[in-house]
Amino acid sequence: MKFRVERDVLAEAVTWVARGVPARPPVPVLAGVLLEASEDGSLTLSAFDYEVSARITVPADVAEAGQVLVLGRLLADISRNLPAKPIDVSTDGAKLTVTCGSSRFSLREMPVGDYPTLPAPPEPSGTIAGDVFTQAVAQVSIAADRGDTLPILTGVRMEVEGDKIVLLATDRYRLAMRELTWTPASPDASHVALIPARQLSETAKALGASGSVQLAFGGGGDGLIGFEAGRRQATTRLLDGEYPKVTSIFPSSVDTEAVIETAALEEAVKRVALVAERNTPVLLKFSEGQVAIEAGTGDDAQASEAVEAVLHGPEIQIAFNPQYLLDGLHAVGQPWSRLSFTQPSRPAVLTGQQEADSDTDASYRYVLMPVRFAS
């Protein structure tokens, strides 16, 4: 195999596929990236760890077709650090030689025959705007469980009905839900998929810069979802199991609502939370015209700050895990935030809006469970 490729093209391509290469693979060959040079002037790079696959095809000046398997992370590090000149890649016995200017690297080849076959992506099911997809996944995936006690809660539930998609995630302490529209291949599209949150988040970030992302929901029990944008393809194996019916957590009524400038509240909570020890909450006291934020009790360090707020309904005091509250404020993505309450012991709902006196945007809702505050 012998080919020449532009440095930036190779660096971007290897970085894309190598992002899913496991740091400690159960089988050594899974640390590899497969390079396939074709006589038609294309270079395809692939990676697969039995859960996630990634594939990209880029142009190259191919003198001799062939395929080779080398350590993915090492090749990514090398290609990113080479000078801005064309890269010559060739096989020499059991080594892969990478030459760029006066830089020369020799990498050990891995046995291609031991590498697993990448899964074929499912048939395309529809498309969605890349920026919308990235934002929606980021807004919801923050609420997915990061532990392994309940694996099903480490996923994001994606439900499709016609041109509407609903994304949902919870770790039992908060819940995030985003509703958005897409362009389905069939007007009566109906799909439900439970996607590992970490893989979905990484894929959305990597593909979102493209104008549109193609989603492919697997059929026939193959347990895959496929993503494609430009020359990049990825598949992710879905989680098994029935997701709990958590939408009943949304309060059916509201007694008090407070509208606050998002950035002002976020900055104040960050400052006050500096004295909140691990797992201790911040207390929010809502009264006419303001919310007072407090943290720390007794002989410990204490902090307080007040932020302007428009209050509708009776005054209320409620405490939250500060990081969970900050996650929601950051994800809401609107200049103003609306917090809706029933009582201090019941879940609160965070939504966003463009103006202090405009209607709330209910397409994104973040539910936060309150915690007990020791006075």
- Residue ranges per structural domain of the chain: 2-114, 126-247, 252-368
**CA gap 266, 145 in Å, rounded:** 23
CATH of range 252-368; options 3.40.1360.10, 2.30.40.10, 3.10.150.10, 3.10.20.440: 3.10.150.10
213, 207 Cβ separation under 8 angstroms: yes
Q: Provide the CATH topology of domain 126-247.
A: DNA Polymerase III; Chain A, domain 2 (3.10.150)
Residue 219 banded pLDDT, cuts 50, 70, 90: low
Instruction: List b or e across 124-153, with b for residues whose CB sees 16 or more CB atoms inside 10 angstroms.
Output: ebbbbbbebbbbbbbbbbbbbbeeeeeeeb
What pLDDT was estimated at residue 375?
60
Place 221 in a pLDDT band, splitting at 50, 70 and 90: low
- What's the whole-model pTM score? 0.91
Q: Does residue 37 have a pLDDT over 60? A: yes
Q: Which of 2-6, 15-19, 161-165 has the lowest mean pLDDT?
A: 15-19
Q: If you count DSSP H runs as helices and E runs as strands, how many of each does the chain have, helices first?
A: 6, 27
Over residues 126-181, the pLDDT tens digits come to 999 999 999 999 999 999 999 878 899 999 999 999 999 999 999 999 999 999 99
Note whether 2-114 and 126-247 share their fold.
yes
Query: Residue 194: what pLDDT?
Result: 96
Question: Using N-to-C axis directions, what is the helix angle for 322-332 and 262-272, rounded to 10°?
Answer: 160
Kindly state the percentage of the chain with pLDDT values over 90.
Answer: 83
Cα–Cα distance for residue pair 237/203, rounded to 1 Å = 13
What confidence tens digit (pLDDT) does each residue in 64-117 have?
999 999 999 999 999 999 999 999 999 988 999 999 999 999 999 999 999 999
Tell me the CATH number of domain 2-114, given options 1.20.1600.10, 3.20.20.210, 3.10.150.10, 3.40.50.1400.
3.10.150.10
